[in-house]
Amino acid sequence: MRFVSLTIDGRQVEVAEGTTVLEAARKLGIEIPTLCYDNDLSIAGACRLCIVEVEGNNKNLPASCALPVAEGMVVHTNSPKVREARKIILELLLANHPLDCLTCEANGRCKLQQYCYEYGVKESRFSGERRHFAIDDNHPFIERDLEKCILCGKCVRVCQEVQGVGAIDYSGRGFDTKVATFMDRSLADSPCVSCGQCIYMCPVGALTAKPSKGKGRDFEVTKVVTTCGYCGVGCQLALNVKDDKIVGVTNVPDSHNQGYLCVKGRFGYEFVDDPERLTTPLIKENGKFREASWEEALDLVAQKFNEIRAKYGPDALAGVSSARVTNEENYLFQKFFRAVIGTNNVDHCARL
Ligand code: SF4
Ligand code: SF4
Ligand code: SF4
C-alpha cells in the first residue's frame, strides 16, 4: 500500500493512497461539517458543506468527501473563504426550508440547525418559490415531511446499499426533485420493511418515528444501551427513556450490528408498558383464567408433566424454546427435557 503525505490546517498527516481529504482530516481530529456523508454509505457529494480550500486550486472549493488526497497537498478546512461559502450553502438550504424548529422532532439533534448555529446563519437572503408537499402519514411507523428534506440522499442510499430494499429513490429534476417511492405512492404502499434506518440517517427532521412523536426530544431522553430481546442475533440498541417510560429506540453505532436494526427491535417496544400485558401466571379453571402465584403455577405444570409421563411415557411430552431467552436459558431448557423428563423432543422457535 502506498502512503501519501499532505498538510491539513498546518498539520502534516500521512494516509493511504485513495483516502479522501475528509477522512484524512478526521484522522487528525479535524471535524469538517457534512450533511450527506456517512462512513457506511457510498459518496454522494450532494450537500457540498464539506468544501475545503486547496492551495494552487483557484478554480473552485472541492468537496472533501469526494476529494482523494495527493502528495504534498496543502488543505485549509476553515479559511474565511470556506466559511463564507458554507454560509451561502446553508442559506440556500434555508431558502427552501420551513424553519419549524419550535415544533420539529429533530430540534436538538438536527445537523442543519447545528451548522446554522455554528455559522451564524439566522435566515436566508434568497427568496423565491418554495416547494410544497403533503405530509405522508400512512406508514405505521414513519412520517415523511418532504418540505424539511434537504435532498442529502442518505435515506435513499441506506435503503439501497445497507438494507438492500430500494423502497425510495430520487424522483423529478431540478426544483421538482424529491425522494419518492415507485409511482410516488405512499411509503406504506412500497416494499419498505420498516427497519427505520432512513430515520436514523436523516440529518434533519424530514423523517420521524411516529411512535416517538411528541414524547420527548433527543436531549430530554436517557439512552439505555441494551440487547434486543426479539431474536438470537442480539442486536445492541438504545432505549430512549423519559419519565420511566420507553419513548423510542435509537442506534448504537459501535456494536456488532453497527447500529442497524429490524422493525421488531426498532419499533416493537410498546408492549413493555402495555396495560394488557400479563403480569402474573394464569390458571384456567372451568373455562376461565384466574390469577395464580408462580409457585402454584409451576407446581401445577410439574404435576401435569408427571401425570402425562406416567401414563404415556416421556416421549408424549415436547418442549419448544424461544430465541428471546439467553443461550444459557436455552441450554437449561433442553437439559431439563432430556435429563429430567427423559425425551429428545425439544426444539426452538427460530428453527421452525
Ligand atoms: S429540520 Fe432542523 S432546521 Fe428544519 S425545522 Fe427541523 S430542527 Fe429546524
Ligand atoms: S424504513 Fe428501511 S426499508 Fe423502509 S424506506 Fe426506510 S430504509 Fe428503506
Ligand atoms: S429525507 Fe432526510 S435523509 Fe432523505 S434525502 Fe431528505 S434529508 Fe436526506
- Tens-place pLDDT, residues 123-164: 889 988 999 999 999 999 999 999 999 999 999 999 999 999
CATH number at 253 reads 2.20.25.90
Give yes or no: residues 255 and 302 share one domain.
no
Q: How many domains does the chain have?
A: 3
CB-based contacts of 97: which residues, under 8 Å, 6+ apart?
Answer: 112, 147, 148, 150
Find the 42 Cα to ligand 3 centroid distance in Å: 15
Last residue of a domain, one of 29, 55, 78: 78
The DSSP string of 77-136 is SS-HHHHHHHHHHHHHHHTT----TTT-TTTTT-HHHHHHHHTT--S-S----------B
- Tens-place pLDDT, residues 198-212: 999 999 999 999 999
What is the model's pLDDT at position 173? 94
Domain annotation covers residue 317? yes
Residues with CB under 6 A from ligand 2: 142, 158-159, 163, 165, 167-168, 192-198
Nearest C-alpha to atom 4 of ligand 3 is from which residue?
Answer: 155
Extract long-range pairs of 323-332: CB within 8 Å, 24+ residues apart.
323/230, 323/231, 323/232, 323/348, 323/349, 323/350, 324/229, 324/230, 324/231, 327/232
Domain coverage including residue 241: 216-277
CATH number at 28 reads 3.10.20.740
Nearest C-alpha to atom 7 of ligand 2 is from which residue?
Answer: 159
Find the 227 Cα to ligand 2 centroid distance in Å: 22
- Tens-place pLDDT, residues 94-134: 999 998 999 999 999 999 999 999 999 998 899 889 999 99
Residue 233: band (very low, low, confident or very high) from pLDDT cuts 50, 70, 90: confident
- Tens-place pLDDT, residues 267-303: 999 999 899 999 999 999 999 999 999 999 999 999 9
Domain annotation covers residue 118? no
The secondary structure element, H or E, covering residue 12 is strand 11-16
Read off the pLDDT of each residue in 27-31 and give the average, rounded to a whole number: 97
Find the 143 Cα to ligand 1 centroid distance in Å: 15
CB 204 less than 6 A from any atom of ligand 1: yes
Closest ligand 2 atom, CA of 187?
5
Find the 248 Cα to ligand 3 centroid distance in Å: 20
- Tens-place pLDDT, residues 213-223: 999 999 999 99
The DSSP string of 185-253 is --GGGSS-----HHHHH-SSSSEEEGGGTTS--GGGSEEEEEE-SSSTT--EEEEEEETTEEEEEEE-S
Residues with CB under 6 A from ligand 3: 149-155, 179, 201-202, 204, 206-207
Domain annotation covers residue 288? no
Extract long-range pairs of 312-320: CB within 8 Å, 24+ residues apart.
314/341, 314/342, 314/343, 315/343, 315/345, 317/341, 317/343, 317/345, 318/343, 318/345, 318/346, 318/347, 319/345, 319/346, 319/347, 320/346, 320/347, 320/348, 320/349, 320/352
Other Cβ atoms closer than 10 A to 267: 21
CB 104 less than 6 A from any atom of ligand 1: yes
Find the 32 Cα to ligand 3 centroid distance in Å: 20
Q: Which ligand is nearest to the CA of 198?
A: 2
- Higher per-residue confidence, 352 vs 136: 136
Nearest C-alpha to atom 4 of ligand 1 is from which residue?
Answer: 99
Q: Do the bridges between strand 74-76 and strand 142-144 make them parallel or antiparallel, or are there none, so unpaired?
A: unpaired
Residue 232: pLDDT over 90:
no
- Tens-place pLDDT, residues 320-349: 998 878 889 999 999 999 999 999 999 988
Q: Which ligand is nearest to the CA of 167?
A: 2
Residue 231: band (very low, low, confident or very high) from pLDDT cuts 50, 70, 90: confident
What is the model's pLDDT at position 234? 87
Q: Which has the closest alpha carbon to 135: 188, 200, 173, 61?
A: 188
Nearest C-alpha to atom 7 of ligand 3 is from which residue?
Answer: 149
- Tens-place pLDDT, residues 163-200: 999 999 999 999 999 999 999 999 999 999 999 999 99
Residue 352: band (very low, low, confident or very high) from pLDDT cuts 50, 70, 90: low
Give yes or no: residues 8 and 69 share one domain.
yes
